Amino acid sequence: MTTVNEILLADAPAIHGLTFRRFRGESDFPRMAALDQACADADQVDDATTPEELANWFAHMTNCDPHKDMLFVEDAAGELIATCRNWWRREEATGYYIYGHSGRVSPKWRRRGIGRALLHHMQRRIREVIGEQGHPADAPRFFQTWAADTEVATEKLLTSEGYAPVRYSFEMTRPLVAGQDDIPRFPLPEGFEVRPVQPDQWRALFEADVEAFRDHWGFSEPTEAHFQGWIEWKWFRPELFRVAWDVEKNEIAGAVENFINEDENAKYNRKRGYTEGIFVRRPYRKRGLARALIALSLQMHKDLGMTEAALSVDAENLTGALRVYEACGFRVAKRYTTYRKAIEP
């Protein structure tokens, strides 16, 4: 017999005491953060997600009802040992409907069929969502998820279930050596200046970022929830941003939205600054603006005592970002693969 909060999985592994239940609210956040951390450590993926960050993320979640689109697995002792979640979005350029999903299984409970059972559950739930949302029957639809190159078991599971790689991205890092003149000299192009970003400019910056990425692979139009989640994020540090303005037109041309994740730095005993949120709007590309802003960002992180910088990049970025980052001294540290599987009508 199950309680109102529990569900039965037809293909659940025959393990005594397993319970599959729904999301219970903010009381789940500390346990979710602990599970995420255990999985990250086992899979050699950097993560220091806190319950507070999960609360902000859930408060601004889109196209996902955690009470319907999440599943939690507990062992006989009531310990959280696995979770999964699904959501959806529509790609602007292709019209594809993408049904994302992700799962976590405690390292102590792997290779027992729990991950496969959760994958099948998410696929069933996604098919329900398609009907509930009334998505057009003739639109191409795909399951989508991802894995780091160190998540070997996950990659094997996905390929065994008919998923195929469709895109790659890289995590890149570069050292910042104290006492050395190791920052590249890329001057700001003529006609631009870097200014501190003020609160009344946050939305303009967000919209410029969205505009710049509209022609990138997999783009989906963000919502107001995305904007609010960004400015309420724990590591939102606009004082660290480097924003370039076209002086004549008085408009944003590009930016690097730097941040420092102090929780990660404490956990991994490092001093890393992130040069993320890098964009240049289409009219201002091919002038060296991105390189100049990255160089300014690297110097800022170094002045703040950071000893390395990091960023992520789509391996096939249309603007040639990978080459720009390599010219700034970044090198690939980890590869991530995006997997898709077509959803048949």
**According to the model, what pLDDT value does residue 306 have?**
98
pLDDT at position 165 over 90: yes
Report whether pLDDT(1) > 60.
no
Q: What is the mean pLDDT of the chain?
A: 95
Give the C-alpha separation, 312 to 45, whole Å. Answer: 13
Q: Give me the mean pLDDT over the 181-194 stretch.
A: 95
Q: Give pLDDT tens digits for 269-290.
A: 999 999 999 999 999 999 999 9
Percent of the chain beyond pLDDT 70? 98
Q: What is the pLDDT of residue 121?
A: 97
Query: What angle (nearest 5°) sits at the alpha carbon of residue 125, between those of residues 92 and 64?
Result: 50
Name residue, tokens 């941040």.
Answer: 259
Local confidence band at 341 (pLDDT 50, 70, 90 cut-offs): very high
Q: In whole angstroms, what is the distance from residue 258 CA to residue 272 CA?
A: 11
- pLDDT by residue (tens digit) across 219-265? 999 999 999 999 999 999 999 999 999 999 999 999 999 999 999 99
Q: What is the pLDDT of residues 43-97, one digit of tens each?
A: 999 988 899 999 999 999 999 999 999 999 999 999 999 999 999 999 999 999 9
Supply the pLDDT for residue 143: 98
CB atoms within 10 A of CB 177: 12
Strand bridging mode 192-195 / 251-256? unpaired
- Mean pLDDT along residues 192-212: 97
Helix axis angle, 224-231 relative to 202-213, nearest 10°?
A: 120
* Angle subtended at Cα 330 by Cα 324 and Cα 332, rounded to the nearest 5 degrees: 105
What pLDDT does 6 receive?
74
Q: DSSP string spanning 209-269?
A: HHHHHTTSTT-----HHHHHHHHTSTT--GGG-EEEEETTTTEEEEEE--B--HHHHHHHT
SS3 of residue 72 by DSSP: strand
**Euclidean distance between CA atoms 13 and 116, whole angstroms:** 9
pLDDT given at position 318? 66
339 touches 144 (CB < 8 A): yes
* pLDDT over threshold 60, residue 2: no
Is pLDDT of 9 > 90? Answer: no
At 270 the three-state DSSP class reads: coil
167 CB-contact burial (10 Å; exposed 0-12 / middle 13-18 / buried 19+): middle
Q: Where is average pLDDT lowest: 115-119, 129-133, 215-219, 229-233?
A: 215-219
* Chain length of the chain: 345
Mean pLDDT check: name the lowest of 59-63, 318-322, 338-342.
318-322
Q: Which domains does the chain have, with CATH numbers?
A: 6-162 (3.40.630.30), 170-335 (3.40.630.30)
Mean pLDDT of 112-133: 97
Q: What pLDDT was estimated at residue 234?
A: 94
Q: What is the mean pLDDT of residues 206-218?
A: 95
Give 7's pLDDT tier (boundaries 50, 70, 90): confident
